[in-house]
């Protein structure tokens, strides 16, 4: 089961951002993180659990801010981990810090249109 959940989290780069987010109107939750950030590493299993719970409704992705500083700057990321919900090519909400998967799923689904 673990392998399947890992495959559900996209690793976004500047190159893939356009096709996965800018040109795709389906909702996506983007986790901005860095490998040296302890809370970010704690967020990974939470994100995997959330991805499973939101399958078919919200895609889940990660951006390593060390490798993709342009994306972090474009979203105005000031602290990590920060998850940004993008729907219809617009940032709808940001969730800063750790939270349980159920709370994250509830918050994200509550922000979706329709």
Annotated catalytic residues are: 37, 40
Neighbour-count burial of 113, counting CB atoms closer than 10 A to its CB (0-12 exposed, 13-18 middle, 19+ buried): exposed
Cα→Cα distances 2→5, 8, 45, 51, 89, Å = 5, 10, 10, 12, 30
């Amino acid at each position: 089961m673990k392998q399947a959940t890992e495959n559900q989290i996209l690793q976004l780069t500047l190159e893939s951002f356009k096709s996965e987010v800018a040109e795709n109107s389906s909702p996506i939750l983007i986790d901005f993180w860095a490998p040296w950030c302890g809370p970010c590493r704690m967020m990974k299993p939470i994100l995997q659990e959330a991805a499973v719970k939101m399958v078919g409704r919200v895609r889940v992705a990660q951006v390593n801010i060390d490798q993709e500083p342009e994306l972090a700057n474009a979203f105005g990321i000031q602290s990590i981990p920060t998850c940004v919900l993008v729907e219809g090519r617009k940032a709808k909400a940001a969730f800063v810090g750790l939270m349980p998967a159920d709370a994250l799923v509830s918050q994200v689904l509550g922000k979706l249109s329709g």
